[in-house]
Structure 1
């Protein structure tokens, strides 16, 4: 490593420099090195002096904001002269240092001409900063850039607004995503840069807003610097695996407090960015021959429309429900609430009385029924601390992160996304009001101590009665909160072929009407949670469970379902033949063979050896001494070599494959990367003989690793347990597997045997 590299490494390791100040200090060090390199290369060239050529920093480097993983953006500027190989001699040392370089060689006229048609170039050149060489060239460039932004202000603002919209669509939201992109997400650093570029075209934020923006920017910049220093990577996505370590370097109490700070900063940036671009659009419309949107009549006393915004003319202090009228009209007509109206609500809106005024509940449900159009309206109200005057219980959930691999959003945004999804499904239920309110309340307990379901149940009843629902409806909302995880938990972790499974769900839900509400709310909740929570497999399992439970509640119990999905006509014929047979159907492998202990684990071991993750597994042993095991795999990125898999399964069944040794070798070679801050998933083992018919459920939660299913099932076989069925779930670095087993003495495993099984499982899983 060079002297510069040593100094850079030492600088990044220093803890006495505030993370917000580090980018400028790193810029100074880089400036010194590059100026020296450029000067020495000019002197060593055939050129007599540096006239007609200049080295210019642009982009983030030009702003003197160089994070540890930032690109070094440079422009070799010339005055229509031949620069020879000077650029290469300047660029190559940067590459040798393993730094990412953004580079170009252009004349002043070429740079300005490109900026006319390319918004990225136009914005990068706004921060052009002279490093070395002919300073006159740099000044000409800067003057040309200033002139372009002032002369073509309307065009530049339009291009910027389009670029911001595209970036927001791709980058998600800093405030509400659990793994936000600190730079390009909505509410991220790039939005602040865009506000700065807009100021060059004549659109500025008020001074008070600029102060708030600067404070939020420092929060995000500090986080980005510490993310780069912690991971040693250039990524600006603050992944869940890195949040603990970054939070520690940042100086937060813990990762949750750190992410709440990020969310608050992201909300400030996003709101002020929206305000600025709304002003820009309105200003453009005012000068256009065709106004953006003519003022319209709202038809509600106290509300009007001006310049494409909804304005509250009335007094919220005397008309407490006016805020809901405004919110509904804003969502329905896609009219943003004016800044002055939001400020008026913040100052004068009183808390809602208890009970709510007549008509308030209907307006509230109408707002929720606006779906995704309501989200921005509600979040604007919440940004000004108005939403909590309707729903005080909301406050602890604001900006609250979730330590879950399933979830994409913070608690507050997840609840609003769940409501928006539920709004799409209101035609499927007889009580849309309870569906929408249930979706809003189902996770509201997450902001409170203890189990979030129990906390939510305690909150839901009083909220419902305060809003005006009767005791029966309030009880329904409490039960929706109580059972909001029931259907997915049972469908993905219990045997749907066991009659006791359906009986248990029927007992909890009670009526077809409640089951209907719960099923639709479950789909809305899971869809809002993310793709890991609701896919084709989960949807089909929940649908089957709901269908069977509905039949049970209606008094027409379905025919016995145990193993009906497994024992197809083809499988029954294969079992009758008494020979070993393997069949592949899509992503499903079925193994039929003479029954012997360990058959299931050997097949599972081969799948692990071939790098295939099991999504679902079933097993059955017939009185005639034949067994069938089926495995549904997670579809991999590349086609599966099923011929090789079948060949290896046959070898393993004959005892001709050293599975344990081969899996151990694969684990050593393909060990999964563990992030710096990733914590090991705890291992828990439970036994449940009450929730299954003629079996004991052994549920294993542990850290995912190659061959974990093989290890667990091998231990179960060695401990004398026959696997009747299995439900397999893998979530990031954790597996949650449930096995229906029968012991040598019957379906109930005695406590002493349970202790030995648990000891054996813990040994093999933690070794």
Structure 2
């Protein structure tokens, strides 16, 4: 920090005094805000305090008179959030020499010592203009520059040249593109369960962008000025100021609550924030849910008004684009590639136009959206969609026609939701708008999840996505009237949050819709059935033993015919992918696909054995063995020790892999451990062949837990001659780049561990619980029941996921002498729903069964 021209002791005293004063005055500012929350007073007060601290140190450091100190970015605007960065520009007439660079370093170091998060640049005016011309972020920061002290003439010269150089049209386009890219980073929605109140769509950044463009184009410096220029109505200006204050309060509270520049509304903070702003829980919902619903409504207003204002800006900035209107019909016209109402009373005089406008956007590819006038009128007229409107056959036909178009279906349904049209046309929909889901695997509100599922089904029909979902694309293109799946998607979760079984309740809503819209009986039956059973296929695939012919037979009986099977498969695939990026993986896709094909074969007349491919599986495995150069009959010795259940549970390729590894050592005294990367499922498959022992499953789960792997699937088999032949599917996103290295490690370490027969079981280390689990705990559930044949017992458990959970289950089972035959591990975000097939341990005795259930519940408690 020392510099020859600066008295070190004086600087140290100045830093200490400034730090103490800034801390005391910031605490007083916080106390005043908490007593009387006013955003303008707080934000401008914080900026003023920082101004004083910086100017004090600028003087102490005796900066040269020819330099100018400039505040830029949000700080330049004269508003500063409690923990935001302080952006500074040191403007120099010529590049700094070595001495000045040292002095500047001293100044910046002193500012950091005071406790300010400083972002700074040192440039000449020419360098500023060059950087601004190349980077719109720099250009934006300089737009709100404010002189703090120093060479006023240099600053004025720079400011004049900056505004002369500013290309308003290019700036407008760049900010629009920047917003599109930012929206894409946040999945184009403000409705994620943990949004960023600054950067997410509908956040403060959207409002700031509107201000930047208005300032650059000279259209106004605040919402009132924009209203005076008739770019906004007076009511819209008041709404913008109101939502801006709401978001500013939220961000201020977040900074104070966390003590850092935190802008994410994480689950950790939502409940505390709600209480701070005076929201109390009710019997029906948490305080955090009420807070977040308020946030979503405000974010929705921001995105609505953002669209309207950007269009009005475009009209002002690009007046040469304002060509003559092209008449479409008596109600609508095209203006600058936008759909526009022909007069302000269109929706009042022709209520059906409230749906017709969306249909026109789908049918006319030259239209890029709706004009600001149309959007404003649409929003104001949404309440005209009432019972009489919904009962009008013409309006019902229009809604179905929207779902049957060749393009724009998802886009227009989203727009209908955004402007309140969908919620008024489907009254049940209104209840799920902005409704949070605290089930640890959905990451969107209910309405946004449904729209994601609709999008996923729609993508199956689109050629550009065929490479992602080739089977789905082939199935849906052969599905007559595939728009029925869109109806099922809209209703599958529409009854969430009402209490009771949402599938049953939603089924009634779907039936009413189908009757009102006069769908053919067979189509209506399909939609209603899909809503009722939209969870069935995923539950069977992930929780039951689909290698059991009886499981497939029961599922086929539920489905009934191939049309329903295809429809349910498509909807299930889209539904799982629409919950969260974490929930879907290749292994789940394979489980669904295997169940689909087995059921399809059964419905086409195959026997249960044929449906599962059992008749052909051994022959297919033999062909694979011949392909790998093994002579005929080499497999017989091993296969004699394997019963039919083994061949049911493994594919031909897995059987061939096991046989190639074991045919010459089926009586091996040493454990055989082999692993391989399974590319399609993005994981590692591990085979273990060793003398069977009661605690083997616990040993294996403990080992994999210590390695940091999640177990996606386990097939546990005991041969006729007393060996365990177990197969595990493992996954860990942290190892994705080095699975091949992990294969070698697993084989070496697990073989060595199993070879030490007297070695203690490796208990996995306890890991940290996720934030979601801490704030939205899952009540553990355990059920053990006999299967239909009475030969096995099915253990079903639900709990919050955490490290070592599966080991804990295995350890309890091993202690009671219970054998595990298969394990279906279904991890849904932070929630697990696992199913095990068991024998032994005296489970036929009610007292023993209840004791095992109690111990498992104890182990699952957090």
TM-score normalised according to structure 2 size: 0.79
Partner of residue 89, structure 1: 106
Report the count of equivalent residues. 748
Please list, as runs of the form range in 1=range in 2, the aligned pairs for 1:471-510 lying within 5 A after superposition: 471-510=521-560
Matched, 1:308 2:337: yes
Whole-angstrom CA distance in 2 between matches of 1:535 and 1:726: 18
SS in 1 for 2:728: strand
SS of alignment partner, residue 408 of structure 2: helix
**2:170 alignment partner, one of 155, 172, 175:** 155
2:451 alignment partner in structure 1: 416
Tell me the equivalent position of 1:110: 127
Asked if residue 171 in structure 1 is aligned to residue 186 in structure 2, the reply is yes
Structure 1 CA distance, aligned partners of 2:534 and 2:357? 31
CA shift for structure 1 position 698 = 1.2
SS at match of 1:688: strand
Matched with 2:473 is: none
- C-alpha distance in structure 1 between counterparts of 2:38 and 2:688, whole Å: 58
Structure 2 residue ranges without an equivalent (≥5) = 1-15, 220-225, 281-286, 461-475, 615-644, 678-683
Superposed, 1:244-263 pairs within 5 Å as 244-253=271-280, 254-263=287-296
Change (3 A) 1:368 1:71: farther
The answer (yes or no) to whether the contact 1:415–1:440 under 8 Å persists in 2 is yes
* CA-to-aligned-CA distance 1:459-510 (integer Å, 9 cap, x gap): 2222221222255543432221111111112211221112232233223222
Partner residue in 1 for 2:747:
646
Which deviates the most, 687-696 or 332-341?
A: 687-696
The equivalent residue for 1:762 is 857
Q: Hey, what does 1:270 align to over in structure 2?
A: 303
Matched, 1:32 2:52: yes
SS of 1:304's equivalent in the other structure is: strand
> The residue matched to 2:495 in structure 1 has which SS?
helix
Any residues of structure 2 matched to 1:659-678 within 5 Å, and which? 659-660=761-762, 663=764, 666-667=765-766, 671=768, 674=771, 678=775
Distance of 2:396 and 2:268 partners within structure 1: 42
Q: Distance in 1 between matches of 2:447 and 2:431?
A: 9
Secondary structure of 1:365's match? helix
Q: How has the CA–CA distance of structure 1 residues 320 and 671 changed in structure 2, closer, same or farther, with 3 Å as cutoff?
A: closer
Contact map agreement 2:68 2:154 (CA 8 A) in 1: yes
Aligned to 2:634: none
SS in 2 for 1:577: coil
What is the aligned counterpart of 2:584 among 509, 534, 542?
534
**Unpaired runs of at least 5, structure 1:** none
Query: Which position in structure 1 is the counterpart of 2:689?
Result: 592
1:695 corresponding residue in structure 2: 792
Aligned match of 1:550: 600
Q: 1:430 aligns with which of 480, 489, 506?
A: 480
Query: Where does residue 203 of structure 2 map in the other structure?
Result: 188
CA gap of 1:703–1:232, structure 2 versus 1, over 3 A, is farther
Distance in 1, matches of 2:45 and 2:774, equals 27
Query: CA offsets, 1:506-561, max 9 Å, x none?
Result: 23222222222111122222233333333321111111112222233333234256
Kindly report which structure 2 residues correspond to 1:199-218, keeping only aligned pairs within 5 A, or say none.
Answer: 199-200=214-215, 201-203=217-219, 204=226, 205-206=231-232, 207-218=234-245
Look up the match of 1:236: 263
1:16 is matched with 35
Equivalent residues of 2:414, 2:451 under 8 A apart: no
2:840 matched to 1:743?
yes
CA shift for structure 1 position 355: 7.1
Tell me what 1:55 maps to. 69
The yes-or-no answer on 1:466 pairing with 2:537 is no
TM-superposition CA deviations, 1:331-367 (whole Å, max 9, x none): 3335323333344444384425487444544532332
Are 2:618 and 1:618 equivalent residues in the alignment?
no
Q: Which whole-Å CA distance do the structure 2 matches of 1:234 and 1:174 have between them?
A: 22
Conserved 8 A contact 1:351-1:390: yes
Superposition RMSD in Å: 3.2
Q: Quote the Cα distance in structure 2 between the aligned partners of 1:446 and 1:675.
A: 20
Map of 1:100 onto structure 2:
117
Q: Which moved more, 1:351-360 or 1:521-530?
A: 351-360
SS at match of 1:182: coil
TM-score normalised to the size of structure 1? 0.89
1:347 to 381, 389, 393: 381
Superimposed CA distance per residue, residues 72-91 of structure 1 (whole angstroms, 9 cap, x where no aligned partner): 11112234485443321221
